[in-house]
Structure 1
Amino acid sequence: MKTEIYGHFHPDERQFVDRAWDWVTAAGEYHESKLTDFLDPRQGHILHSLVNRHPDVIVRLEGGHEGAERCRALIAPDYRELDGEDMEMKVLAITSGEQKFLALEHGDYMGAILGLGIKRSKIGDIHVLADGCHVVVTADIADYLTMNLHGVHKVNVSTEILPLSSLRCSETKLEMMDLTVASLRLDGIAADVTRLSRSKILAPIKSGRVRVNWKVEEDPSTALKEGDVVSLQGFGRFKVLEVGGLTKKGRYRVQVGKFV
């Protein structure tokens, strides 16, 4: 069965496919329930596709707010009612009295938390606010974070654990870029967004450091379309917002938003 499943996924995803299929079969065959750590959207998609292969299993994905990118999953036998189940998430509220605090960014908070030895899978979405930061975390690490997180990027901070109902979400900020490109190829658009040459953008693509919609993409010629989210390790990520008409010279007008 796993051999049949593997054909649908990238080789780098097989380890997660193995774990996810074990969760699904345990729920379907042995009536066991599994609450996962946070999954990215690609992992959530894989899990959903595996659950759909088993007639006696259901799954609930929850990230703390509608539209959450990173979610915990609860996999269970289909006779369970999952809507009222505790997904064991808390909000880590981070504040500071220092002026430099207002300049902190998403990556600063992520780095500070990971620097405490916390696994990425324990952290959900990070919401940078005008007066602080709200981080969705698994409940089992909440107390540890409040006891040990005292600084973010050399800024002294205070922390508090709040219930999920107190979560405040930030708006996604995008730096808009209007491009004209010869084609919709991944390497061409990524090169323009990162301001790298076409030859230099090939290395991260072919080495598996580029993901399209959270799936590893190693083919530079892959055509992008509206709505695609592209992440380049070390260079951030961007979203294809609109593919317009052709210019007089036959080039595509493309608008992208670079996450900031």
Structure 2
Amino acid sequence: MSHKEIYEHFHPDEKAFVDRAWEWVERAAERHETKRTDFLDPRQAHILFTLANRHPDAQVLLNGGSEKAERQRAIVAPDYKVLDDIDMGIVILDISSDDRRISELDHGDYLGALLGLGIKRDKIGDLHVSESGCHALIAEDIGNFLLGHMKQAHRIDVNVSVRPLADLREVKVELVEQVLSVASMRLDGVASDVFRLSRTKIVAPIKAGRCRVSWKPVEDPSFQLREGDMVSMKGFGRFKVLEVEGVSKSGRVRVRVGKFV
């Protein structure tokens, strides 16, 4: 397959990952190598599956440690290899505290604490946050480092331990639903209503590359959203387009969205 054929379906910003993923697929198919990746976001997982499907001698298995995991590790292997019993190398980092203020911490506080220690984002899977702390799914190879170095989360003293996946305290993601009446399904229009900001304040971060739609970079404010799209704006939050309910007599679109809290 030519490089042009490989890249034609992907955003230019994704070239570096496409190159890596295609190398994994080629090594599995042609050199009979098995690769266990770090955590991939859903867009990266889609790219990897798309590339593997173009090569009949490779296969991909995904697992993020829980049934509905958003971020998952992948095994890329020759098509003949049995993958059922392969260890995905995922463990739980149990973060707790004797400080009652821990109930006030959110996803961003815990993720920021981990990244602040120099941990790369792709070593961290989903975070399950509750009032008593957080169960962070992590690559097992960083467990010992975190045991020795993670002492605080958002200025609150914490205790950490590494536990097996069987102990996961899974927390379902909450969505706050709202129905909007918008002039069109343009990204900037819907996002400005969801985040309650002016169109001008929304356009700037989109053009600056801080927006992803279904984990794909989008820099065009006029991009048309569709049902099922997941919109993430760095510094603002995330929402999902749940349903386009119809068009009113005046031509406005009724759309139901869910904002992640």
What TM-score range do you get, normalising by the shorter chain? over 0.9
- Distance in 1 separating the partners of 2:173 and 2:38: 23
Query: 1:192 matched to which residue of 2?
Result: 193
Instruction: Tell me which residue corresponds to 1:52.
Output: 53
Corresponding residue for residue 69 of structure 1: 70
Following superposition, the deviation at residue 174 of structure 1 comes to: 1.8
Count of aligned positions = 260
Deviates more, 1:241-250 or 1:153-162: 241-250
Percent of aligned pairs with the same amino acid? 58
Residue 227 of structure 1 aligns to which amino acid in structure 2?
G
Q: Which residue of the partner structure matches residue 123 of structure 1?
A: 124
1:148 and 2:149 correspond = yes
**2:168 aligns to what?**
167
The one-letter amino acid of 2:235's match is G
CA–CA distance in 1 between the matches of 2:115 and 2:247? 45
The letter for the 2-side match of 1:223 is Q
User: Per the alignment, in what secondary structure is the counterpart of residue 38 of structure 2?
Assistant: strand
Pairing of 1:192-211 with structure 2 (within 5 A): 192-211=193-212
1:178 is matched with which residue?
179
For residue 250 of structure 1, what is the aligned residue in structure 2? 251
Deviation of 1:168 after TM superposition, in Å, equals 1.5
Say whether residues 1:222 and 2:227 are aligned partners: no
Matched-pair contact (CA < 8 Å) for 2:213–2:231: yes
- Following superposition, the deviation at residue 155 of structure 1 comes to 0.8
Instruction: Give the letter aligned to residue 246 of structure 1.
Output: V
TM-superposed CA distance for 1:189, in Å, is: 0.2
Q: How far apart are 1:96 and its partner, in Å?
A: 0.8
Report Cα offsets for 1:188-211 as digits up to 9, x if no partner: 101111222223322222222211
Amino acid across the alignment from 1:188: G
Deviations 1:4-32 (A, max 9, x none): 21111000000000000111111111111
Distance 1:200 1:131 in 2: 36
1:30 is matched by which residue type in structure 2? R
Distance 1:25 1:250 in 2: 50
Distance in structure 1 (CA, Å) of the matches to 2:159 and 2:251: 55
**Given the alignment of the two structures, is residue 241 of structure 1 paired with residue 242 of structure 2, yes or no?**
yes
State the distance in 2 between where 1:175 and 1:20 align. Answer: 35
Cα distance in structure 2, aligned partners of 1:58 and 1:159: 36
Rounded Cα–Cα distance in structure 1 between residues aligned with 2:207 and 2:104: 35
The residue identity in structure 2 corresponding to 1:231 is S
* Cα displacement (A) at 1:159: 0.9
- The residue identity in structure 1 corresponding to 2:53 is N
Q: Is the CA contact 2:42–2:71 (under 8 Å) kept in the aligned structure 1? A: yes
**How high is the TM-score relative to the length of structure 2?**
0.96
- Of the structure 1 ranges 250-259 and 88-97, higher mean CA displacement relative to structure 2 is found in 250-259
Secondary structure of the residue that 2:185 maps to in structure 1?
coil
DSSP-derived class of the 2:76 partner: strand
Deviation at 1:113, TM superposition (A): 0.6
Superposition deviation, residue 227 in structure 1: 1.5
How far the C-alpha of 1:122 sits from its partner, in A, is 0.2
Q: TM-score, normalised by structure 1?
A: 0.97
The separation in 2 between residues aligned to 1:61 and 1:166, in whole angstroms, is 20
Q: Which structure 1 residue ranges, 5 or more long, are not aligned?
A: none
* Partner amino acid, structure 1, of 2:257: V
Kindly state the Cα deviation for residue 217 of structure 1 after the two structures are TM-superposed.
1.3
Q: Is the 8 A contact 2:96 2:134 kept in 1?
A: yes
C-alpha deviation, 1:34, in angstroms: 0.6
The answer to whether the Cα contact below 8 Å between 2:102 and 2:131 also exists between their aligned partners in 1 is no
CA RMSD in angstroms comes to 1.1
Partner Cα separation in structure 2 for residue 177 and residue 61 of structure 1: 32
Give CA deviations for 1:224-245 in whole Å, capped at 9, x if unaligned. Answer: 1221110011111111122212
